[in-house]
Structure 1
Amino acid sequence: MTSLDPVLDKDGVRLTVEDAVATVTLTNPDKRNAQNFALWRALAQAGRSLPGSVRIVVLRGEGKSFSAGLDRQAFTPEGFDGEPSFIDLARGTDAEIDASIAEFQEAFTWWRRNDIISIAAVQGHAIGAGFQLALACDLRVVAQDVQFAMRETALGLVPDLTGTHPLVSLVGYARALEICATGRFVHAEEAERTGLANLVVPGEELDAAVRDLSAALLAAPRDAVNETKALLRGAAGRSYDEQRAAERAAQGRRLRDLAGLAD
């Protein structure tokens, strides 16, 4: 597939596919790509709409900001047209609240699938839900003007869109706690130093840097990359000996495949 006609274009989300690379773009720059429930549903749909040929998914935001976080209209009694407000959600049972948040999280969970590598191209503000969306991706290439912040605690909330696990994995518990509890900004130099960013580039070079990284990731055979990603993702949850066994099993599959003996 080489056409750049959108596979999906709705509710502030556009998905295009060019050969093995898909691009998911947040398309509401006038509101700094603020997020709402409809956008989250569209992001989840984008994940379900990926053709099987896709190996790389690039996530980007139009305009000066990647995403300034949740649209504050969600906190008003009126909420969004045709949607419940957070006040409405709070009136539900524990099970109803849990189900609603689980649905919201679907927009943030598919980026780490083992059959793709996801890259967030981040410029300007990536705040709250925007920070968590960048954290949902495997890799982050950021512009020098990037401003990460986790502001949920300042609103009396917690980060609940899957961002806490990758944040702790990347920067450690103590720094993650300090970032979340203070809500302070993390800028490019610190992001690169602590592992939040894989690469920092001038803003005008962001797209080119992501293209170069995508090309490098596509150079290796897909199955070898997928097996390696699965090994690395599972490493933290395995003991040393369990990881050794997982490596042996994965290599056995690769050897059989290369020898033409795979099932």
Structure 2
Amino acid sequence: MATPDQDLVPLLDKDGVRLTVDDALATVTLTNPAKRNAQSPAMWRALAEAGRQLPGSVRVVVLRGEGKSFSAGLDRQMFLPEGIEGEPSFVDLARSGDAELDAAIAGFQEGFTWWRRNDLVSIAAVQGHAIGAGFQLALACDLRVVADDVQFAMRETSLGLVPDLTGTHPLVSLVGYGRAVEICLTGRFVHAQEAVATGLANVAVPVTELDATAGELAAAILAAPRDAVVETKTLLRGVGDRTYDEQRAAERASQARRLRDLAGLGE
């Protein structure tokens, strides 16, 4: 079956990440299926670069992984004393100073932060394993469409680490504190039915329908006016930081902008 970006010239294609753009729709594909799209600092830098290279015309980004797994987590070479060639090992990172270590982790996180920009809607199409860093990358997106074979797991704590690639905030927001603690501390698998029931996923479909379903969702979002989508997403993202009355005021301000724009009275 053809992939969504098969016939497009990539804007970026390196370190296991390919970015293609078709007008208002961008597709970011993890392209190392032989290693189940295992993640490394080079991949994280490429993901961050993909965000920087998005043209202003892009409104929706679909994130997908080639092969049977979306992403099986960290490249296990990172756990070895010698690490990955050309990259600091975990031992090297541990020996660095506080500021240097903080900066290194902040740099890793950059590949996970741009997916929730208010001017974009991001959709993760997730099949097979989405473990650790793979789980957190799926959580970085606004929406998740999953295949019926999906297996989410947060394994960092089991390895003596913590989830540090921006996944803890969306996980708690989606499933609540108690379930998030249980998922992280046990490292167990969350399958498709539970993912949909708990809000981790928007919909589960047969794996053969995954790309098409993500494409249909993207098309439905693109059918709405861009400014209205941006205003609505901004409103919804801000709910957690506002009181009920503050949210009411934010709704009024947003609607005033939309009405004036529709009437040709916008700034």
Equivalence for 2:101: 97
List gaps (5 residues or longer) in structure 2.
none
Structure 1 residue 36, shift from structure 2 partner: 0.1
Give the 3-state SS of the residue equivalent to 2:238 in structure 1: helix
Equivalence for 2:222: 218
Matches within 5 A, 1:90-169: 90-169=94-173
TM-score (norm 2): 0.97
Query: Residue type of the partner of 2:12?
Result: L
Structure 1 distance, partners of 2:243, 2:109, is 28
**What is the root-mean-square deviation in Å for CA atoms of aligned residues?**
0.9
Structure 2 distance, partners of 1:236, 1:174, is 18
Equivalence for 1:237: 241
Q: 2:250 aligns with which of 234, 243, 246?
A: 246
Structure 2 distance, partners of 1:114, 1:249, is 16
Give the 3-state SS of the residue equivalent to 2:241 in structure 1: coil
1:37 aligns with 2:41: yes
Query: Residue type of the partner of 2:196?
Result: E
Structure 1 segments of 4 or more deviating over 6 A? none
Structure 1 distance, partners of 2:155, 2:191, is 15
Equivalence for 1:196: 200
TM-score (norm 1): 0.98
Structure 2 distance, partners of 1:128, 1:196, is 15
Structure 1 residue 19, shift from structure 2 partner: 1.3
Structure 1 residue 93, shift from structure 2 partner: 1.2
Structure 1 distance, partners of 2:221, 2:118, is 14
Q: Between 28-37 and 70-79, report the one with greater CA deviation.
A: 70-79
Structure 2 distance, partners of 1:155, 1:207, is 32
Structure 1 distance, partners of 2:63, 2:166, is 16
1:14 aligns with 2:51: no
Equivalence for 2:61: 57
Q: 1:25 aligns with which of 26, 29, 32?
A: 29
Structure 2 distance, partners of 1:155, 1:217, is 39
Report how many residues are paired. Answer: 262
Structure 2 distance, partners of 1:200, 1:83, is 37
List gaps (5 residues or longer) in structure 1.
none
Q: Percent identity?
A: 79
Structure 1 distance, partners of 2:216, 2:18, is 22
Structure 1 residue 261, shift from structure 2 partner: 1.1
Structure 1 residue 83, shift from structure 2 partner: 1.0
Give the 3-state SS of the residue equivalent to 1:17 in structure 2: strand
Give the 3-state SS of the residue equivalent to 2:146 in structure 1: strand
Structure 2 distance, partners of 1:83, 1:127, is 22
Give the 3-state SS of the residue equivalent to 1:236 in structure 2: helix
